[in-house]
Amino acid sequence: MAEARARGRPRGFDEGRALDAAVRLFRAEGYDGAPVDRLCREMRVPRATLYDLFGGKEGLFLAAVARYADTRIAPVLAALGPSGTLRDDLAAFYDAVLALATADREAPGCLVSCALADAAGSNTGFRAELAARYAAMERRIAARLMAAGWDVQAATQPKAAAALAASIARGLMLAARSGTEAAQLRPTAEAAVGALLALHPEGSPGHG
């Protein structure tokens, strides 16, 4: 029977939809606040299937983080282009950050910057995952800065400027988690764009 219906998967099981349900619950409640029984209900899978597919709650959480990165964070990073000037693309990036952080009133913030960061404290696997996700975002931002002619030998190197840009994005996510609305966060995002451009070694506000 199709290898026991793919090792015990329920008929009609859609792993992407199931992971999306897990993402939303983890994002809303955090890792510790999402019990396995409730995850099973939201995902519409038996407990045995959850353990068979993901090895347990930790494996499911890491799979949910990967799903979130592919479906939610990837479009945020894609906003960096390059498709316009550096100012345009940084503004688009922060617009996408705010949209992601505030679109779901029941689960504001970010699965990585909020739930994964909170769970990482005593879990070495989660800490490694968090470091990898942070590094991936910073590399993508640094690549956009260098595409705009940001010299790697500048006083503020692109790697450092990218870390600053990503840290501001994470701060906006955390503020959204507390219930702060996008309209209240937007001035901070706009100030971030100006501050980053001021660090550009060319000193050109809209440098390509």
The DSSP code sequence of the chain is -HHHHHHHPPTT--HHHHHHHHHHHHHHHTTTTS-HHHHHHHHT--HHHHHHHHSSHHHHHHHHHHHHIIIIIHHHHHTT-SSS-HHHHHHHHHHHHHHHHHS-TTS-S-IIIIIIHHHTTT-HHHHHHHHHHHHHHHHHHHHHHHHTT--TTSSS-HHHHHHHHHHHHHHHHHHHHTT--HHHHHHHHHHHHHHHHHT-TT--TT--
Asked whether the predicted pLDDT for residue 138 surpasses 50, the reply is: yes
Do 202 and 158 touch, CB atoms closer than 8 A? no
The mean pLDDT of the chain is 92
Q: What pLDDT does residue 207 have?
A: 59
Q: What pLDDT does residue 122 have?
A: 84
Query: What structural domains and CATH numbers belong to the chain?
Result: 69-198 (1.10.357)
Percentage of the chain modeled with pLDDT above 90 = 88
Average pLDDT over residues 17-40: 97
Other CB atoms within a 10 A radius of the CB of residue 170 amount to: 20
Directed axis angle between helix 15-29 and helix 57-68, to 10°? 100
Average pLDDT over residues 192-204: 85
- Six token digits for residue 197: 């451009």
Do 173 and 109 touch, CB atoms closer than 8 A? yes
- pTM as predicted: 0.90
Q: What pLDDT does residue 201 have?
A: 80
Average pLDDT over residues 146-164: 95
